[in-house]
Amino acid sequence: MAEILIAGVGTTTFGDHAGRTGRELFAEARSSALAESAVSSSDIDALYYGNYMGETAERQSHQAPLMASGIGTTGLEATRVENACASGGYAVADGVRAIESGAADVVLVGGLERMTNLETAETTAALARAADELHEGRPGLTFPGAYALLADAYMERFGGTREDLAHIAVKNHENAATNPNAQFHNEISVADVLETPQVADPLGLLDACPISDGAAAAVLISGEYAAEHNLSPAVAITGSGRGTDSLSLQEREDLTRTKAAESAAQAAYSGADVTADDVDVAEVHDCFTIAEVLALEALGFYQPGEAITAARDGETAHDGQLPTNLSGGLKAKGHPVGATGVGQLVELTKLLAGTHPNANAVPGAEVGVTHNAGGTVATAAVHVLEVAR
């Protein structure tokens, strides 16, 4: 894979940004990324921008030229990328592909979502449109119910308890407590998780990620551009993969595996010439606690049926063998859908560069992975990041 360097990253805080527009949020993230990159905006060849529900939340479609207009250059290729909750990860993948193919030397990738300005029922309905409308939407299945089905299938086959899942939420809240960009800074206990109302058995309120606003952006450059402009970014994207599964759960052979993520991981590892054993730190898509379990297994860190106890046993804690979601994850950092995949890239870049508030948990880390999933992992984007040589 061609050398692709992360020249700069930027993000807003994730949470409730009442009174701010999407264009304002993205401008903040974009400006921060460009300032950190030391790249002239006039050198940007393309913008790949992830957004899922702009038509519903802001009555604004055709957002790519809107978000490109503040960059300050004309003739820019601007593309909106929509793949449900994986929109941001796919925007990153498109940026990687553009540089890898030689079509671009400098790409701005980003994502945005505004969600808190809608009533909860409106947001839930909008998110549900990322599932199969015929087989899941019409009968009234929403994502809490869908992930509850995945949890039920997993526990029926492999075992595991609600308490095992609760440890994941506790871990991620602990990590978010020291991340200034996170939506939640309160630590919680296993008892807190188990005592909250159930949303869809076996998942409770604290097993689910929150409704969030936020934006994130990154400037990607080719190795040739970096050399020509005397730039030495600390982190590179060395592997990029995408995968797809059936949209409808009823069409899947096995609800205990997320095959889209497995395919994406294999492609990313192959491109980077690494294996799961080489990974030091991971940011995975934990929209619900069971999703972190499925992600860890799809990425090859655990065999099927083994990741359910990883958080309980401390293996994925900040001082464990595979620190996972040091940002707080979607669970506690927040999940502004279109921004999430790029937000993972921002967090992991800072962790590997040693500039993240939680970087002391992974001293000497050289290889990290981001995992961004759409819907019930009907789509997935996986990226390998490494300390630049």
| Per-residue confidence (pLDDT) for residue 148, from 0 to 100 | 98
Mean pLDDT for the stretch of residues 304-316: 98
For 237-265, write each residue's pLDDT tens digit.
Answer: 999 999 999 999 999 999 999 999 999 99
Range in 60-74, 292-306, 339-353 with the lowest mean pLDDT: 60-74
C-alpha to C-alpha distance for 358 and 362, rounded to whole angstroms: 8
How many helices (H) and strands (E) in the chain? 13, 11
Say how many Å lie between the first and final Cα of the chain, rounded.
Answer: 14
What pLDDT, on a 0 to 100 scale, did the predictor assign at position 168? 98
Share of the chain above pLDDT 70, in %: 100
pLDDT at 75: 80
Mean pLDDT along residues 193-222: 97
Residue 61 — pLDDT band, cuts 50, 70, 90?
very high
- State phi, psi for 14 to the nearest 5 degrees: -100, 140
Q: What is the pLDDT of residue 70?
A: 84
Residue type, 15: G
Residue 389 has pLDDT above 90, yes or no: no
Q: Is residue 171, in this structure, part of any structural domain at all?
A: no
Distances in Å between the alpha carbon of 114 and those of 50, 74, 206, 216, 352?
12, 27, 21, 12, 29
DSSP string for 259-310: HHHHHHHHHHHHHHT--GGG--EEE---SBHHHHHHHHHHTTSS-TTTGGGT
Q: In whole angstroms, what is the distance from residue 102 CA to residue 14 CA? A: 34
As a whole-number percent, the residues of the chain with pLDDT over 90 amount to 97
Q: What pLDDT, on the 0 to 100 scale, is given for residue 141?
A: 94
Write the pLDDT tens digit of every residue in 326-343: 999 999 999 999 999 999
Sequence length of the chain is 389
Tokens of 310: 């990883």
The overall average pLDDT reported for the chain is: 97
Q: Cα 78 to chain center, whole Å?
A: 21
Where are the extended beta strands (E) located within the chain? Answer: 4-11, 46-50, 77-81, 106-113, 198-200, 203-204, 214-222, 235-244, 281-283, 367-374, 379-387
Is 80 exceeded by the pLDDT of residue 73? no
In this model, does residue 2 exceed pLDDT 90?
Answer: no
Q: Report in angstroms the alpha-carbon separations of 243 from 90, 253, 303, 305.
A: 10, 16, 19, 22
pTM of the model: 0.97
Domain presence at residue 239: yes
Number of domains composing the chain: 1
CATH for 314: 3.40.47.10
pLDDT at 74 over 90: no
The stretch 224-240 carries a mean pLDDT of 98
85 flagged as catalytic: yes
Over residues 112-143, the pLDDT tens digits come to: 999 999 999 999 999 999 999 999 999 999 99
Separation of alpha carbons 311 and 300, rounded Å: 16
Rg (CA), the chain: 19
Q: What is the pLDDT of residue 109?
A: 98
Catalytic residue among 85, 167, 318, 371: 85
pLDDT at 316 over 80: yes
Task: Taking residues 200-217, report their average pLDDT.
Answer: 98
Q: Is residue 142 part of a domain?
A: no
| pLDDT at residue number 1 | 74
Q: Tell me whether residue 16 is in a domain.
A: yes
Q: Does residue 374 belong to any structural domain of this protein? A: yes
The DSSP H or E segment spanning 32 is helix 22-37
- Tens digit of each residue's pLDDT (9 = 90 or more) over 281-292: 999 999 999 999
Mean pLDDT of 217-232: 98
C-alpha dist (Å) from residue 348 to 61, 104, 248, 258, 357: 30, 24, 31, 23, 11
Does the residue 162 lie in any domain?
Answer: no
124 in a domain, yes or no?
no
* Across 56-60, 81-85, 86-90, 237-241, least confident range: 56-60
pLDDT tier at 151, thresholds 50, 70, 90: very high
What phi and psi values does residue 220 have, to the nearest 5 degrees? -105, 140
Least confident of 23-37, 72-86, 91-105, 227-241: 72-86
Give the chain's largest Cα–Cα span.
Answer: 58
Question: C-alpha angle 267/272/278, rounded to 5°?
Answer: 105
The yes-or-no verdict on residue 44 having pLDDT over 90 is yes
Domain coverage including residue 298: 4-118+210-387
pLDDT for res 72: 79
Among 167, 335, 356, 371, the active-site one is: 335
Q: Is 335 a catalytic residue?
A: yes
